[in-house]
Structures are given as structure tokens and as C-alpha cells.
Amino acid sequence: MPKVKIVYCSITGNDEEIADVLDEKFQELGCEVDVSEMGQTDTSDFLDNDICVIATYTYEDGIVPEEALDFYEDLQEEDLSGKIYGVCGSGDHYYDDYCRAIYEFGKVFDKIGAVSGANPVEVELAPEEEDINNLDNFAEELFTKFQNQ
Ligand SMILES: Cc1cc2nc3c(=O)[nH]c(=O)nc-3n(C[C@H](O)[C@H](O)[C@H](O)COP(=O)(O)O)c2cc1C
């Protein structure tokens, strides 16, 4: 069974909720899951896992939220070859760069050798029923990608 690491970045709780939804789904699939807040996490924690997930909000200044910058920079130094990754997060269509930080993290994962296992999931503010379905499918796709590799 795959080991899954979920790292979230959240101020008002929406991405924490996203991480909780994914945690529950991965556990249902039989995975060993560990969830942590980005500020409390070392990027090397991904090394010990098979599936790496980031859930982050987006803020209009900078490419990723300021509190995520250290993690974003450290991540570029890791080698995650052979790992499967998925990115998701919450944003607000009121802003121009909708959910941009998700894709910025996706680019880093690509650069450091991880393989995308599912399309990114964008959530408008807090996850609602449709978002929860999308997140459940996202987790299933990542899991299937691991099984088929
Ligand atoms: C000052 C400010 C700037 C924001 N800029 C963006 C943005 O550029 N793009 C976006 O999609 N959402 C933007 N948001 C919306 C947040 O990403 C959204 O509220 C998100 O749900 C917060 O996630 P959290 O509850 O996990 O902290 C912004 C919110 C605030 C308050």
C-alpha cells in the first residue's frame, strides 16, 4: 500500500479542509497517510513517501503565498524521481490569478522528477459537495497511478 504525504498551506481553513477530505479518502483506499501544515514540514519528508500532495491557497502577491516561500524554494533542491504527485487548493475567482500557486508547485514537482498522477483540483473557497467528489476522484487517480506503475 502506498505511503501518502499531504502538505497544506492555509490561513482561513479551506485548504486544511481539503487536506482532511483527501486524508479520509486515502485512508479509505488503505493508504498510510500523514498530513502536516507547510510551515511545520520539511520538504525532505516527501522522500519517505510514494504519493506527494500539496494543497495551497493563492494570494495575489508573489507566485506562492509568502508563508509557503521557504518550502517552495527548498522543494526545488529535492530529487523526487519515481514519486507520484498531485496538487490542489483553494482560490477565489474574484482575483485574476485564480489558484495560481497550485500550478507553481506543480511546475516544481515536474522539475524535480516527480510524475503527475492526477489533474490539479481547484476549489472555489471552501470545499462543497462537488469539490469533495472532485477531491475523492483526485485521490483515487493518484492511488491508481501508483498501483499501475
Ligand atoms: C488579500 C487576498 C488576496 C488573494 N489573492 C488571490 C489570488 O490571487 N488568486 C486566488 O485564486 N485567490 C486569492 N485569494 C483567495 C484565497 O486564496 C482564498 O480565500 C482561499 O480560500 C484561502 O484559503 P485558506 O482558507 O486555506 O487560507 C486572495 C485572498 C485574499 C484575502
Q: How far away, in angstroms, is 89 Cα from ligand 1 center?
A: 10
Contact 43, 77 (CB under 8 A): yes
> Separation of 1 CA from ligand 1 center, angstroms?
35
Looking at the predicted structure, is the pLDDT value of residue 49 above 80?
Answer: yes
Question: How high is the pLDDT of residue 61?
Answer: 76
**What is the CATH architecture of 3-148?**
3-Layer(aba) Sandwich (3.40)
- Domain range summary for the chain, segments of one domain joined by +: 3-148
pLDDT tens digits for range 86-134: 999 999 999 999 999 999 999 999 999 999 999 999 999 999 999 999 9
Of the residues 60, 63, 96, 99, which should be mutated to test ligand 1's pocket, given the most ligand atoms within 8 Å of the CB?
60
Give the mean model confidence (pLDDT) for residues 54-63.
Answer: 92
Residue 19 reports pLDDT greater than 80: yes
pTM here is 0.98
Mean pLDDT along residues 129-144: 98
Instruction: Give the CB-side neighbour count of residue 73, counting CA atoms within 13 A.
Output: 7
Which residues, other chains included, contact 19 with Cβ-Cβ below 8 Å and sequence gap of 6+?
6, 8, 10, 35, 55
Query: What does the DSSP 8-state code read for residue 90?
Result: E
